[in-house]
Structure 1
Amino acid sequence: MTVLSELIKSKRKQHGLTQQDLALKSGLGLRLIREIEQGKTTMRMDKVNQLLSLFGMELIPGPKTYHHE
């Protein structure tokens, strides 16, 4: 999983939403919601921001950080 996928899944659960609820509220497809939560690494930034806006957040450019497992 990616940091983004973990964040989206966590926020969705905090708000008591299913993936389908999140798709309907965001105007995005259920398939995209599932792909994001599964850690898809390539996607359009505008779609990610459309989703994050439901939680009062947005994706912005910043320094690259490395996460080691």
Structure 2
Amino acid sequence: MKAWDRDNAIATFVRYRRKEAKYTQIELADLTGIGLRFLRELEQGKPNVMTDKVNQLLQFFGHTLTPTPIKNETRSNLDK
């Protein structure tokens, strides 16, 4: 079993941005429609089957899954 990594890029990014926006985990889970348990485990760095496998494949090519900012235009089209 793979160890949890609280300092991985995605866990750190989500935790930092949530706190910066002054949301609790419960509030963010409600706002985004994701499960509270998933959010908590993500912020704690629990390996997720999907992301773990994606990273495994990307690492083969010398890359890793990381959060990337998107343009405001793209963000406004996400709700459509």
Higher RCO by CA contacts (8 Å cutoff, separation 6 or greater): 2
TM exceeding 0.5 = yes
From 12, 15, 18, the counterpart of 2:18:
12
Root mean square deviation, CA, Å: 2.1
List 4+ stretches of structure 1 deviating above 4 A. Answer: none
Residues 1-69 of structure 1 correspond to what in structure 2 (within 5 A)?
1=6, 2-44=8-50, 63-64=62-63
Q: How many Å separate the matches in 2 of 1:44 and 1:15? A: 27
The change in CA–CA distance for 1:27 and 1:44 in structure 2 (over 3 A counts) is farther
Structure 1: any 5+ residue segments left out of the alignment? 46-60
> TM-score, normalized by length of structure 2?
0.54
Number of aligned residue pairs: give it.
50
The amino acid of 1:18's aligned partner reads T
Structure 2: any 5+ residue segments left out of the alignment? 1-5, 52-57, 65-80
> TM-score, normalized by length of structure 1?
0.62
